[in-house]
Amino acid sequence: MRKTFALEDLDCANCAAKMENAIKNLEGVTFVSVSYLTQKMVLEADDEKFDGILKKAVKLCKKIEPDCTILL
């Protein structure tokens, strides 16, 4: 399953890269792209595990960039 999420208050490209690398290492993630320019995240993961992976991705993003919100 592949979904695109809008990001709010992502402040820098470096933070976007850190978020992308952290999410990429989650088990079950097949593709992830976090774009500072478009303020979007594309996440592709196993259908059965998608909701759990999304929750972990949200936590990782908050840890790296506390002001950033993923609009679900």
Which CATH architecture is the domain 2-71 placed in?
2-Layer Sandwich (3.30)
Q: What pLDDT was estimated at residue 50?
A: 97
- Specify the pLDDT at position 58: 97
Q: What is the pLDDT of residues 21-68, one digit of tens each?
A: 999 999 999 999 999 999 999 999 999 999 999 999 999 999 999 999
Q: How is the chain split into domains, by residue range? A: 2-71
What residues contact 7, with CB distance under 8 A and at least 6 apart? 34, 39, 40, 41, 68, 69, 70, 71
What's the pLDDT at 70? 95
pTM above 0.85, yes or no: yes
Q: Give dist(CA 55, CA 38) in Å, integer.
A: 22
pLDDT at 66: 95
